Amino acid sequence: MATNFKSLLPVIDISPLVVKCDDSNMAEDADVAKVVRKLDKACRDAGFFYVGLILVGECGTDWSWNIGGSYKEGESDMSNQFFELPYEEKLKIKIRPAAGYRGYQRMGLNLTSGKQDMHEAIDCYKEFNEGKYGNLGKVLEGPNQWPENPQEYKELMEEYIKLCIDLSRNILRGISLALGGSPYEFEGKMMRDDPFWIMRILGYPGVNQENVIGCGAHTDYGLLSLINQDDDKTALQVRDLAGDWTPVIPIPGSFVCNIGDMLKFLSNGVYESTLHRVINNSPRYRVCVGFFYETNFNAVVEPLDIFKEKYPVKGTSQVFKRIVYGEHLVHKLQTTFTNLVEHS
């Protein structure tokens, strides 16, 4: 992987995790242990890091792609093609509450802390059977909406999602070890055997003025986010421990990975979900795909016993109430899309 990019965030080659993914004794492997130490430091510091994958592993998936690279070879062009379509064309897959908040959202529809974000997007969520999550889940019921053109877009993105799910699971095994648990604290029991996911294909207009907010400061909602950004524009910024905004300079062939709110809760606050925002100061259009790997939709999330024992709470500021992930998500949707309810 290229090393001539100056970034303040660590780059972690996670291939040992992928190679050892089926080995329950993976923690004893020296290469895995090294990755785990790096993950722990990255998660305690910024909560943001780059992941790379150099080896070809075997995990029931074709890993013979350089992370993010397969997307950039084809689908990225298709995302650009979609956003270049006339507005009326894009509206054919318009996001609506009745369509489970899935589909195309115009520039400025998404609100963060009540302010309009200068991005447009296609939002997708894991599809599930009607009624599966009762009233709460109803809000998100419906098939994802894909454009008719380009035709192969849907199929390719669905492949991409599978890879992201696999990759997220492997990284989380490393994070689970980094927290001092088994590799499997974030799967299986505790209702995390049917992980929910979100994917947002984002387009940010090029600008001629400074500091147009593409996406306001927020934390992500779930366990782990994988950000696949254009290689030639720096727009994503992370708030570091000192409270300064650090640019996340793209590193070709890598994903940017960050911690979401659920991981913060489950880890008893040992790892934080870090604030980040997007400002595309480039005159050119920027496309980015965010993949968000979550707990089960109906998971009750609270600090895991193992982490409460390992990391006793100091003071009262760190006491986490139990929450249901789906409630957290639906609440976020309602504050993000307040303008949508009125017009549809």
Ligand X SMILES: NC(=[NH2+])NCCC[C@H](N)C(=O)O
Q: Is 329 in the site for ligand AKG (CB under 6 A)?
A: no
Q: How far apart are CA 247 and CA 344, in angstroms?
A: 37
The number of residues in the chain equals 344
Q: How far apart are CA 166 and CA 53, in angstroms?
A: 13
Kindly give the pairing relationship between strand 213-218 and strand 11-13.
unpaired
**What's the min distance (Å) between Cβ of 151 and ligand AKG?**
26
Q: Is 328 in the site for ligand AKG (CB under 6 A)?
A: no
198 touches, from ligand AKG, Fe ion, ligand X, none (C-beta below 5 to 8 Å by class):
ligand X
Q: Which residues pair with 215 in a beta bridge?
A: 278
Which of residues 280 and 336 has its CB atom nearest to ligand X in the complex? 336
Work out the end-to-end distance of the chain between its first and last CA atoms, rounded to an integer number of angstroms. 47
**Nearest to 305, CA basis, from 266, 258, 256:** 266
**What's the min distance (Å) between Cβ of 112 and ligand X?**
4
Q: Is 110 in the site for ligand X (CB under 6 A)?
A: yes
Which of residues 79 and 112 has its CB atom nearest to ligand X in the complex? 112
By CB under 6 A, the residues from 4 to 33 that bind ligand X are none
Helices (H), the chain: 15-19, 30-44, 69-73, 75-84, 87-90, 134-138, 153-178, 261-266, 305-310, 325-336, 338-343
Q: Is 236 in the site for ligand AKG (CB under 6 A)?
A: yes
By CB under 6 A, the residues from 253 to 282 that bind ligand AKG are 276, 278
332 touches, from ligand AKG, Fe ion, ligand X, none (C-beta below 5 to 8 Å by class):
ligand X
**Nearest to 174, CA basis, from 22, 13, 32, 29:** 32
Q: Which amino acid is at 172?
A: L
Which stretch in 129-137, 215-223, 261-269, 280-288 sits in contact with ligand X by CB under 6 A?
215-223
By CB under 6 A, the residues from 302 to 341 that bind ligand X are 332, 336
Angle at 338 between CA 198 and CA 137, to 5 degrees: 45
| Identified binder of ligand AKG from the candidate list 76, 170, 229, 296, rule CB under 6 A | 229
- State whether the Cα torsion 187-190-192-194 is positive or negative: positive
Q: Is 123 in the site for Fe ion (CB under 5 A)?
A: no
Which stretch in 152-160, 218-226, 242-250, 308-316 sits in contact with Fe ion by CB under 5 A?
218-226
By CB under 6 A, the residues from 183 to 222 that bind ligand AKG are 200, 202, 215, 220
